[in-house]
Amino acid sequence: MAGTPRALRISFEFKVPRELTVNIRWVAIEKALDTFTERVAGLSEGLFPWAKTVKVRRQWVYDWYDDTREIPLSPTDKNTPK
């Protein structure tokens, strides 16, 4: 309906395996999030020309209920316990 507030929400969730004992530095997380934000903002004008703003949400989530599809990524030396 014309005039109805609406938003398209696209989420990505990167899960760390429980058995991975390495400490993930917040500085590295912030750098990665800044890079994602810059890239998405840069692509948005061409891909979503009707959008006026992009809201960036950064949050830690505790999984009490999860009914989403998860896509495994290829193993790397940083996501696989040694």
pLDDT tens for each residue of 1-36: 677 888 888 888 888 887 888 888 889 889 999 999
Residue 63 — very low, low, confident or very high, per pLDDT cuts 50/70/90? Answer: low
Torsion of CA 10, 6, 34, 15, to 10 degrees: -30
Which whole number is the average pLDDT over 50-65? 78
The total of other beta-carbon atoms located within 10 Å of residue 47's CB is 9
pLDDT tens for each residue of 42-56: 999 899 888 888 888
Position 62 pLDDT exceeds 70: no
